[in-house]
Structure 1
């Protein structure tokens, strides 16, 4: 249902009672957030994140599914949607980085990180966790918003894994690495964007050839020729383009691209302090290097706001769809997920992803999506390492009969 139709239903009284309550509740939450933060930037940041979560849930878009279909079924539809997403966000980020400042008047740099042995290992580990568990970081937040129980141990252990990663940071950061590098550091930014778009085009054409040779046909992602009265756009393509636009908007508003995994050690350190655990975190290298980051309040912390916003955006879609159904439709059978093995695997996968994401300077969002958008080499290098990890995770899953 379009936004226009939703508002029309609201004003004509055709929305269900629970849907009306949801709208009012969301407005109250946004009002409370603005009152607590006293910042329009925080409010807009949260709204953008809500939209991201709604897109992930409403259009059934996910990275782990994309890679799984590519490896197991040799279908490239979802990965091709990601290529379109990367192409659009590259152009938007490139323009912002070189012609504009953030809404707060700060220069826009993006995520440009080192490439080292630890980042390759981290991306590999993250890929293993993506397929061993229930999904990646954004997928886990989406599933938490869908009220899927196994997202709870996965998300918690991501925090634990990320915290362990920064605890051991002095060890793995000593491994060989090259300094942060971006394409626009060597050539004019327009040339840098054009070169990366060419790389994406080569990958896209290769995916088409791979799927056609493997399955004899290629699934349609975009059909400009009219089908009846309108052109055909696959929902995953709409999701990818929407996420690209929202990431660029978030970049301009907050000064920082979309990231998730960097919040895990932040939450982990604060949990250690809150629970008064016997861990001397004050002397960790991570704490020494990020004093302002750790001292900031969650209500004004960009990554914290976006992470909660994605979760609540997905939850809003779940509750909206459920509240619009009849009681008969709501009485669906629920599969039991209480088996200890499912909880164990989800926990292990979450730990691996949290550890790997921090080592790799980001997950599929911060390193891959926002890293490539920023023109950073580490974003491009993350992809093959994570793909190998996805393959290993799927092999391990089959070997263990999960």
Structure 2
């Protein structure tokens, strides 16, 4: 489908949301379209940025992510400090988080996408990510069924720096932490490239910088409109949970996760009332619009590669629920709104990524 008729359909759906659902959900759908268009148009991939750093000693992708985190924190933390009705993306430090983050980092390299990456690449029609998306949703749902058990293994109360220190001190500490990471990444890449006898690669590249600025603005809009930070994974799990609940496949009334009041209410409501789901739908639409009329380019996979990728997609979904989010919900929204669990998530997921890249090379992806 070409862009013009697709844009008309998107506008009609937005108008229908405005008329039959709510102004908030229509606005979040529009924010989602913007997120999808930026992710797909700039190919702003969290998974790709980490892979570039490890395999090519190219820091530009990670520097784009660090810039995104800094800009988003600079906008989100003052808002959280002045408007208590807005919530941070808090998650409890726990065994669940440690295991989930490591496994997620491993699987996202094999599946070639985190939560947002899988979503926007599916919107672009890339076959592997399109096939992985429903498995990601099923895995996220399965993770929610077991989350209570995982948390019983050990957890601490969530810690929000804005609440504990105030927004100004929390922002200063966050920016300092990001600056330290940037210095370490820069030094690592410079030394590695010099040892290899090649010129150092630039820290900032236009597409990553533009992507960071636009995503930070859109994520802040999401926070203001939804009252909570940008997330992806919850919507996936909810979609699978609704199917399971409607078919009677699983009794969710006595499940620890789905019996909690907010989650139980969302099971009974239309998915269009869920803020994460409507943004996810917008991301799919925005990515589809960017790629409209263009054939999806992807290397053909062997049967073994398909089996490995689809398995990784299922485990990716499961681990994302244990880790309280993906690169968006846990890392980006966690760190930018002052949650300690976001800082714990990153090194565990990065360690998993190193192993994931070895498996990726082993199977020739």
Q: Give the TM-score range, shorter chain.
A: over 0.9
Distance 2:190 2:46 in 1: 22
CA contact (8 A) 1:153 1:346 kept: no
Deviation larger for 25-34 or 83-92: 25-34
Deviations 1:16-72 (A, max 9, x none): x944323322222211222231x1111110000100000011111101111111111
Which of 255, 271, 293 matches 2:243?
A: 271
Post-superposition shift, 1:98?
A: 1.1
2:144 equivalent to 1:160 = no
CA contact (8 A) 2:90 2:339 kept: yes
CA contact (8 A) 1:162 1:265 kept: yes
Post-superposition shift, 1:239?
A: 0.3
- Cα 1:234–1:185 change in 2 (3 A) is same
- Cα 1:200–1:32 change in 2 (3 A) is same
Counterpart in the other structure of 1:132 = 110
Post-superposition shift, 1:185?
A: 3.2
2:59 equivalent to 1:65 = no
Distance 1:347 1:334 in 2: 16
Distance 1:77 1:134 in 2: 18
**TM score, norm. by length of structure 1:** 0.85
CA contact (8 A) 2:80 2:162 kept: no
Post-superposition shift, 1:186?
A: 3.0
Post-superposition shift, 1:368?
A: 0.4
Q: How does 1:233-272 map to 2 (within 5 A)?
A: 234-272=206-244
Which of 50, 55, 58 matches 1:75?
A: 58
2:353 equivalent to 1:390 = yes
Deviations 1:231-286 (A, max 9, x none): xx611111012111111110001101111111232112111134x25322322111
Distance 2:57 2:313 in 1: 26
Q: How does 1:3-402 map to 2 (within 5 A)?
A: 18-37=2-21, 39-100=22-83, 107-216=85-194, 217-222=199-204, 234-274=206-246, 276=247, 278-289=249-260, 290-319=263-292, 322=294, 335-337=299-301, 339-402=302-365
**TM score, norm. by length of structure 2:** 0.93
- Cα RMSD (Å): 1.9
Distance 1:220 1:315 in 2: 31
**Aligned length in residues:** 359
- Cα 1:26–1:205 change in 2 (3 A) is same
Q: Any unmatched runs of 5+ in structure 1?
A: 1-16, 102-106, 223-232, 323-329
- Cα 1:400–1:336 change in 2 (3 A) is closer
